[in-house]
Structure 1
Amino acid sequence: MGNCCMPQGGGQGEDQRKRPYVQMKQQETWAKTGIVGLREQGIKELPAALVDCGASLRVIDASHNRITSLPSFLATLGGLQRLVLAGNALSGCGLPPGACTGLASLKILVLDDNQLSDLPPDLGSLTKLEKLSVAGNRLRELPGSVGQLETLQFLILARNLLEQLPDQLSGCARLEELDAQGNELAVLPPSLGDLKKLKTLNVDNNKVLSVPQEILFGCVSLQTLSLHGCPIKPDDLQETPGFKEFDERRKSKYNKVIAGGALLGNKGLDEGVDREVSPPRR
Structure 2
Amino acid sequence: MSCNNASDTTYRGENEGAELDQDGLKAGSSSVSMNETSGDESTTKTLSYKSYFCDSSSVFYDPDICTDFSTTRINIIDRSLTSLPKGIFNGLKSLTVLNLQSNKLTNIKPNTFKNLSNLKDLNISNNVLTSLSQEVFNGLESLTDLNLESNELTSLELHIFNNLSNLRRLNINYNSLTSLSQKVFNGLESLILLKLQSNNLTSLEPNIFKNLSNLKTLDIANNNLTSLSQEVFNGLESLGFLALSGSMLKIINLIYQKR
Q: Which amino acid aligns with 1:240?
A: L
Per-residue deviation, 1:174: 0.7
Match of 2:167 in 1: 152
Q: Is the 8 Å Cα contact of residues 82 and 106 (structure 1) preserved in structure 2?
A: yes
Match of 2:209 in 1: 192
Identity in percent: 28
Distance in 2 (alpha carbons) for counterparts of 1:215 and 1:176: 17
Match of 1:171, SS state, is coil
Distance in 1 (alpha carbons) for counterparts of 2:121 and 2:193: 14
Equivalent pairs, count: 202
Pairing 1:125–2:139 present: yes
| Cα distance, 1:218–1:53 mapped onto 2, change above 3 Å | same
Distance in 2 (alpha carbons) for counterparts of 1:222 and 1:108: 23
Match of 2:114 in 1: 101
Distance in 2 (alpha carbons) for counterparts of 1:196 and 1:53: 44
TM-score (norm 1): 0.64
Match of 1:40 among 3, 6, 15: 15
Aligned ranges for residues 1-282 of structure 1 at < 5 Å? 39-43=14-18, 45-47=59-61, 49=63, 52-53=66-67, 55-76=69-90, 77-93=92-108, 96-122=109-135, 123-143=137-157, 144-166=159-181, 167-189=183-205, 190-233=207-250, 236-237=251-252, 239-242=253-256, 245=257
Q: Is the 8 Å Cα contact of residues 82 and 107 (structure 2) preserved in structure 1?
A: no
Match of 1:132, SS state, is strand
Per-residue deviation, 1:53: 4.0
Q: Is the 8 Å Cα contact of residues 196 and 219 (structure 1) preserved in structure 2?
A: yes
Q: Is the 8 Å Cα contact of residues 155 and 178 (structure 2) preserved in structure 1?
A: yes
Distance in 2 (alpha carbons) for counterparts of 1:124 and 1:210: 35
| Cα distance, 1:187–1:148 mapped onto 2, change above 3 Å | farther
Distance in 2 (alpha carbons) for counterparts of 1:202 and 1:176: 12
Instruction: Structure 2: state its 5+ residue gaps.
Output: 1-12, 21-58
Q: Is the 8 Å Cα contact of residues 72 and 97 (structure 1) preserved in structure 2?
A: no
Q: Is the 8 Å Cα contact of residues 86 and 113 (structure 1) preserved in structure 2?
A: yes
Q: Is the 8 Å Cα contact of residues 180 and 204 (structure 1) preserved in structure 2?
A: yes
Distance in 2 (alpha carbons) for counterparts of 1:171 and 1:59: 27
Instruction: Structure 1: state its 5+ residue gaps.
Output: 1-37, 247-282
- Name the one with the larger helix percent: 1
1:203-240 deviation digits (Å, cap 9, x = unpaired): 1111122334334342011111111121113xx32x52
Distance in 2 (alpha carbons) for counterparts of 1:212 and 1:188: 8
Q: Is the 8 Å Cα contact of residues 40 and 62 (structure 1) preserved in structure 2?
A: no
Distance in 1 (alpha carbons) for counterparts of 2:138 and 2:204: 22
TM-score (norm 2): 0.70
Q: Which amino acid aligns with 1:213?
A: Q
Per-residue deviation, 1:78: 2.1
Q: Is the 8 Å Cα contact of residues 216 and 239 (structure 2) preserved in structure 1?
A: yes
Match of 2:41 in 1: none
Q: Which amino acid aligns with 1:83?
A: L
Higher relative contact order (CA 8 A, sep 6+): 2
Per-residue deviation, 1:131: 1.0
Per-residue deviation, 1:184: 1.3
